[in-house]
Amino acid sequence: MDKKITIPGEVSFVAGLLLVSFAISLMVIAGFGISTISSLPYVLSCIFNQISFGIWNPVFQIGLLVVLLAITKRFKSGYMISIVLSVLFGMILDFFVHTLAGLPTEFWQRLLYFIAGYPLMCVAIALMVGSKIPLMIIDTFLNDLTIFFHVTYRRIKTLFDIICVVLSVLLSMAFLGHLEGVGIGTVILACITGLGVHVVNTALSKVIVIKPWSSKLGGMVK
């Protein structure tokens, strides 16, 4: 059996962060709808366009952290890293959205962007979750609520996705008069992203081992 390659968790997370930002940017240009998690910040950026899509992401996530703290009344040191990572994610996302803004937008090209974005997003999520370092606020929010309420992650994630989509639709129709960020692509991603991440995780686990350089990072999320 071939020896597996060891990749630092910090490298894995940064690679995932870059890939997911790029994938989301492609899906924004595709215009078929983006992931449920990104839909609400995107709609807010369309309504209050003085603030960019990238900046709305950490604003949204920090809001989730406030809600989490109000519910659990427990602060973890890893939350500070999560805040920094969320801000970094927003900056990278704005960079890619701006950089890719000039891409051609014929129907077949937009379809290609969406199709390419899906596997990139799955790989990105697998790398970020597998990094074993403090996750983005949104991941921490879902994980900690799962533990606090003693329910399955799937139940919390499903409820969260529904709330995000409903709010996105309501805000879009109320302020813009049409749907933004939510479409057939959103439904497709909600149905198949979990499967895609599982497939990528299985494939990656056969060839690589992800381990953080710093042993303290893993303990910060506990």
Supply the pLDDT for residue 1: 47
Torsion 195-197-199-201 (CA) sign: negative
Secondary structure of the chain: what % helix, strand, coil (to 5)? 75, 5, 20
d(CA 185, CA 207): 31
Domain boundaries, the chain: 5-219
Supply the pLDDT for residue 221: 52
Sequence-ordered list of residues with C-beta below 8 angstroms from that of 143, at least 6 positions apart, any chain: 135, 153, 221
Sequence-ordered list of residues with C-beta below 8 angstroms from that of 108, at least 6 positions apart, any chain: none
Sequence-ordered list of residues with C-beta below 8 angstroms from that of 185, at least 6 positions apart, any chain: 27, 30, 32, 33, 34, 114
Output the six-digit token pair for 165: 């989509």
10-residue mean pLDDT series, the chain (222 residues): 80 93 95 92 95 95 95 87 91 95 94 96 90 83 89 84 92 93 90 88 89 67 52
Q: What is the pTM of this model?
A: 0.88
CA angle 39, 103, 125 (to 5 degrees): 40
Supply the pLDDT for residue 212: 79
CB-CB contact of 140 with 134 (8 Å): yes
